[in-house]
Chains A and B, each alone.
Chain A
Amino acid sequence: MDHRTESNTITQQDKDAVSSYVVDKNGVKVRMPYQMIKLVEFDDIDPKELIDIPHSARLQYRLLLMDAVIRCKVEFVKRKIIVIYNHPEAKNYKDKISQQQLIEFLAKEGVHVKLDKMTERDFDYFKEHYTYAFEPEVIRESVPYGYTKEEWQKMKVQTEAKKKEEHDKKVKELEERWGEGKSAHKDDDKPHDAPQEKPGGFVGMIKDAFGKLRSINN
């Protein structure tokens, strides 16, 4: 499935959707394709239906093939399926899928979920997916080769402080190099000219015109 070809039918709504920006906590303006979406959890899946890990992985792959499924997890050991999806009421114009359609999809894949073992909640894409991926938790601690955990604990603070100092020094140097009044860098943040080589004369004119025409038709 090529996910990139369906966009020829762009509407005003699509435009609004892709232009929706969110300001993250560091003050950076970032585009958010989704905002409030849904997380559904199907528990207590029949062990006969989740055959083994390879089948669970393939089911996960098939769920992910759908554009409306943003993330999912098929957990063979816990007999659980978690799907984060773009539901029909979500305020965006990307592909959508309803809970019912998801259940039907899973049934087609041989997994018949129990409705009484299903829970669903709102999922904040920005906070729970995007922000986590950019600032993930530390879940373990490695140590340098040739050192024990205890040795590393003693050295760590000093090593990290030294690194930070080196980094800050480098940034300062860069700022001085690129700073105000450095004429060589005054246009760095401006878009550069496209340095394309173009055929001149009649051939170039025809090629350009033909290209524009094709784009308009699309």
Chain B
Amino acid sequence: MPNNPERNMGNGAVQETTYDENLTTNINNKRPEVKEVAGNADAQNPILAVYHRSLEELEKMPVIERTKTVCPECKLIIDGTIYKDGDNVMIRKTCEKDGMFVEKYWEDYDMYIRMRDFNYFGRGLDNPNVLLKGENCPFDCGICQRHKTHTGLANVVITNRCHLSCWYCFFYAKEGEPIYEPTVEELEKMFISLKNVKPIPANAMQITGGEPTMHPNVVEIVKRCKKAGFDQIQLNTTGINLGANPDLAVKLREAGVTTLYMSYDGVSKRANPKNHWETPKALDAARKAHIGVVLVPTVIRTINDHELGAMINFGLNNLDVVKAVNFQPVSLVGRMPPRLREKQRITIPGAIKLIEEQTNGVIAKEDWKSVPYSGGITKFIEALSGDFGYDLSIHFACGAGSYLYKDNDGKITPITRFLDVDSFVETLQGAIEEMQGKPRWQRKIIAAKALLKLPKYIDKKNQPKSVNFASMLTSVLLKHDFESMGVFHTRSMFVGMMHFQDEWTYDIKRVEKCDIHYAMPDGQVLPFCTFNVFPEVYRDKIQKQYSIPAKEWGETHANWSYASDKLHRDIKALESDPAYIRTYGQMVDYFALPVNGGKHVANFARPTDKAVVPPIVAVAKSVNATAPAVVRTVAQKEDSCGCGGHEAKQESKDSCGCGSGKGGCGCGNQAEAAGDSCGCGKGGCGC
């Protein structure tokens, strides 16, 4: 029977999610609704107030820079003003016909200014796929002559069929829509074409969908991709099919898949109805196949923003196989009620600040560097080797990242805590300038001199005990010896952020530097943020030209129907699977260790012992994360501890689900190092 647990959105608004308690299809297919609130409550809400300024107030806000953007309604290219509103960086634009639009661009002014310093222009294509100059950007795509960054990550859609129907997804074929599933030969043509790009051929490929494992020839496709010369092959998947068929994972690894780029929207089932139950099996399949996993949470404010730290902790618990957690603040493409958009909007710094809060400051905002930061390193290697390197010259507002190192004692240290990255990059930059015009042997001397300075930038006191970072980095940069990274590799995890644009946040200065490109069946190559933001003229239009109408597909594929593609899950069976119990039940909270601040990561929870859970009990979401299937009958109304709406007060006064009834709201904000107030060991604050 469907159940409608409600989630407090602040200001009395309540959002509903619906899912069956057990046998469930398309559990993730309903967009949450936001009820309107009376009065000017939103204007008082610190998160929403920036959307509710008067024109007079807006005009007084300091302007940071000007750019070009599009009108979300009529798509006229209009001027965009990037301005400061308190701590937020906002973008406003006015279309003569459709009026003014205000949107969050970056939720931290200082960080914006700091990251902007590393922006630089890279190199576009010497052989662009269309002969257009790009003055009508973003409608000259293909890639055009103006584009400023080569393909860093190529994406090829191999099917638009999917076994799920996520409400925020525009990719998958809905009932009645044509099926886009290129043949192996057509796909190979795209791979070869991406490898022929000059001067820097694509070397990393993401095979995507829909759900790519639904293409019956996925193994052969990966082989062709590998043969075309791609060293990095990622499979963008829910992991569900691989968990159900681990042999397929082994075959894919053998064929060349290096990474599973796997959706993972939260640790709890509420935050991650997409693949919460199947992830443990998918991770086991990846272990069996020796494929690294990148967990990819789409971050949506009010939906899963309370579990960002918990997702990092989940990654750290599976460090043998999880190599990265790459957060993607949601891109709100398409029409949606403005209030919902405002509530769900989150930007890179917004997510970074929540991570800092949720991890006791172990991963602080200063630990993140924008992607083009690595430009200095690329240029250094290139100047030394004389060969083109990968240029991560995307716009600074598109992505950020950091490395976390897990030491023997469980201490988690972001790399920036023991490496003065800024000074290091500056030194490399100086060396590049010195190398200009010099013969190879002299370049080597200059490089060696620069690298000799490296130990100076390493803080030995804070360096992890289990790795000699200085010698490792020297071997990598001087000898290109990546083997020396062995220990670092097995104990480190990349945390990244990639924020794709939508019509509201659109900035042409960003899209012209995009390095995530989609290869199309007609030979064109499209930057991610035109492919997805203007599907009506790019993605859907071109894919439709090469699609098979549903009826023909049905006739040529026996027993096929849209419904037959869809996943049916037996939640009870999945929850009693040993992989599920082991993965969620034995999780360590690294952030609760004294070396990491000793406070539980927000929403940390392990499955409760079924024996002590009453059959019908109201449990807070933190516990729902991993609790056995229990019927939630009590609506979560409000937040008793004032933590900001993260957790709802329970009528049973027992949010940790231990059943002792001693209470605790589970927000984690006031929890003691010792854990919790009721003594069950699951952490409730006892407010």
CB of A60 within 8 A of CB of B139, answer yes
Q: A55-B76, A207-B563 are in contact. Are A188 and B220 (CB under 8 A)?
A: yes
Residues of chain A within 8 A (CB-CB) of B185 are 28-30
CB of A144 within 8 A of CB of B23, answer no
Contact with A along B227-244 (1 / 0, CB 8 A): 101000000000011101
- Interface residue from B25, B218, B227, B384 paired with A174 (Cβ < 8 Å): B227
Q: A192-B218, A214-B563 are in contact. Are A138 and B127 (CB under 8 A)?
A: yes
Give the Cβ gap from B157 to chain A, nearest Cβ, in Å.
13
CB of B561 within 8 A of CB of A214, answer yes
A176–B248 alpha-carbon span in the complex (Å): 21
Q: A61-B537, A67-B541, A203-B23 are in contact. Are A53 and B77 (CB under 8 A)?
A: yes
A88 in contact (CB, < 8 A): no
Task: Look across to chain A and name the residue whose beta carbon is closest to the beta carbon of B432.
Answer: A146
B545 in contact (CB, < 8 A): yes
A156–B311 alpha-carbon span in the complex (Å): 46
Contact with A along B271-311 (1 / 0, CB 8 A): 00000000000000000000000000000000000000000
Residues of chain A within 8 A (CB-CB) of B561 are 208, 211-212, 214-215
Q: A28-B189, A145-B379, A148-B437 are in contact. Are A139 and B523 (CB under 8 A)?
A: no
CB of A174 within 8 A of CB of B241, answer no
CB of B540 within 8 A of CB of A2, answer yes
**Which of A5-13, A97-105, A112-120 forms contacts with chain B?**
A5-13
Give the Cβ gap from A89 to chain B, nearest Cβ, in Å.
19
B566 in contact (CB, < 8 A): yes
Give the Cβ gap from A45 to chain B, nearest Cβ, in Å.
15
Give the Cβ gap from A158 to chain B, nearest Cβ, in Å.
9
CB of B218 within 8 A of CB of A133, answer no
A71–B75 alpha-carbon span in the complex (Å): 18
Residues of chain A within 8 A (CB-CB) of B524 are 133
Q: A67-B541, A188-B219, A211-B563 are in contact. Are A18 and B128 (CB under 8 A)?
A: no
**Which of B130-138, B477-485, B624-632, B679-687 forms contacts with chain A?**
B130-138
A61–B76 alpha-carbon span in the complex (Å): 9
Give the Cβ gap from A200 to chain B, nearest Cβ, in Å.
9
CB of B75 within 8 A of CB of A196, answer no
Q: A133-B129, A214-B562 are in contact. Are A64 and B537 (CB under 8 A)?
A: yes
Task: Look across to chain B and name the residue whose beta carbon is closest to the beta carbon of A211.
Answer: B563
A67–B522 alpha-carbon span in the complex (Å): 15
- Interface residue from B163, B522, B548, B570 paired with A129 (Cβ < 8 Å): B522
Residues of chain B within 8 A (CB-CB) of A203 are 23
Give the Cβ gap from A203 to chain B, nearest Cβ, in Å.
6
A46 in contact (CB, < 8 A): no
Residues of chain A within 8 A (CB-CB) of B452 are none
Task: Look across to chain A and name the residue whose beta carbon is closest to the beta carbon of B383.
Answer: A146
Contact with B along A126-165 (1 / 0, CB 8 A): 0001111111111111101111100100010001000100
**Which of B82-90, B316-324, B549-557, B638-646 forms contacts with chain A?**
B549-557
CB of A53 within 8 A of CB of B536, answer no
- Interface residue from B76, B550, B565 paired with A54 (Cβ < 8 Å): B76
B186 in contact (CB, < 8 A): yes
B81 in contact (CB, < 8 A): no
- Interface residue from B25, B183, B242, B544 paired with A3 (Cβ < 8 Å): B544
Task: Look across to chain A and name the residue whose beta carbon is closest to the beta carbon of B130.
Answer: A133
B426 in contact (CB, < 8 A): no
- Interface residue from A142, A207, A218 paired with B176 (Cβ < 8 Å): A218
Q: A53-B77, A65-B537 are in contact. Are A215 and B562 (CB under 8 A)?
A: yes
Contact with A along B179-199 (1 / 0, CB 8 A): 000011110110001001011
CB of A31 within 8 A of CB of B216, answer no
Residues of chain B within 8 A (CB-CB) of A133 are 129-130, 142, 193, 522-524
Residues of chain B within 8 A (CB-CB) of A181 are none
Q: A132-B523, A174-B227, A195-B241 are in contact. Are A5 and B76 (CB under 8 A)?
A: no
Contact with B along A57-75 (1 / 0, CB 8 A): 1101100110100010110
Residues of chain A within 8 A (CB-CB) of B135 are 53, 57, 76-77
A69–B223 alpha-carbon span in the complex (Å): 36
CB of B383 within 8 A of CB of A147, answer yes
Residues of chain A within 8 A (CB-CB) of B550 are 7-8, 10, 215, 218
Task: Look across to chain B and name the residue whose beta carbon is closest to the beta carbon of A55.
Answer: B76
| Number of interface residues, chain B, beta carbon within 8 A | 104
Residues of chain A within 8 A (CB-CB) of B145 are 139
A71–B550 alpha-carbon span in the complex (Å): 26
Residues of chain A within 8 A (CB-CB) of B227 are 171, 174
B245 in contact (CB, < 8 A): yes
Chain A CB count within 10 A is highest, among B223, B241, B437, B563, for B563
Give the Cβ gap from A50 to chain B, nearest Cβ, in Å.
12
Contact with A along B520-536 (1 / 0, CB 8 A): 01111000000000101
A168–B229 alpha-carbon span in the complex (Å): 9
Residues of chain B within 8 A (CB-CB) of A10 are 549-552
Residues of chain A within 8 A (CB-CB) of B189 are 24, 28, 30, 134
- Interface residue from B23, B564, B570 paired with A212 (Cβ < 8 Å): B564
CB of B136 within 8 A of CB of A57, answer yes
Contact with A along B553-577 (1 / 0, CB 8 A): 0100000111111111110000000
A121 in contact (CB, < 8 A): no
CB of A196 within 8 A of CB of B244, answer yes
A76–B163 alpha-carbon span in the complex (Å): 46
Residues of chain B within 8 A (CB-CB) of A76 are 135
Contact with A along B354-393 (1 / 0, CB 8 A): 0000000000000000000000001100111011110000
Interface residues of A in 1-53 (CB under 8 A from B): 1-5, 7-8, 10, 14-15, 18, 24, 28-31, 33-34, 53
CB of B127 within 8 A of CB of A137, answer yes
A210–B175 alpha-carbon span in the complex (Å): 13
CB of A139 within 8 A of CB of B127, answer yes
A147–B550 alpha-carbon span in the complex (Å): 54
Residues of chain B within 8 A (CB-CB) of A198 are 568
A197 in contact (CB, < 8 A): yes
CB of A141 within 8 A of CB of B199, answer yes
Chain A residues in the interface with B (C-beta under 8 A): 1-5, 7-8, 10, 14-15, 18, 24, 28-31, 33-34, 53-58, 60-61, 64-65, 67, 71, 73-74, 76-77, 94, 129-142, 144-148, 151, 155, 159, 163, 167, 170-171, 174, 177-178, 184-185, 188-189, 191-199, 203-204, 207-208, 210-212, 214-215, 218
14 contacts between A and B (CB under 8 A): A4-B177, A10-B549, A18-B547, A29-B185, A138-B126, A146-B443, A170-B229, A171-B227, A184-B254, A188-B255, A192-B216, A192-B219, A192-B245, A214-B562
Given A133-B193, A144-B386, 12 other A-B contacts at CB below 8 A?
Answer: A3-B541, A5-B177, A8-B551, A15-B549, A60-B139, A60-B140, A144-B388, A145-B382, A159-B387, A189-B219, A208-B561, A218-B551
Chain B residues in the interface with A (C-beta under 8 A): 23, 25, 74-78, 123, 126-132, 135-137, 139-140, 142, 145, 163, 173, 175-178, 183-186, 188-189, 193, 196, 198-199, 213-214, 216-220, 223, 226-227, 229, 240-242, 244-245, 248, 251, 254-256, 378-379, 382-384, 386-389, 432, 435-437, 443, 521-524, 534, 536-537, 540-541, 543-552, 554, 560-570
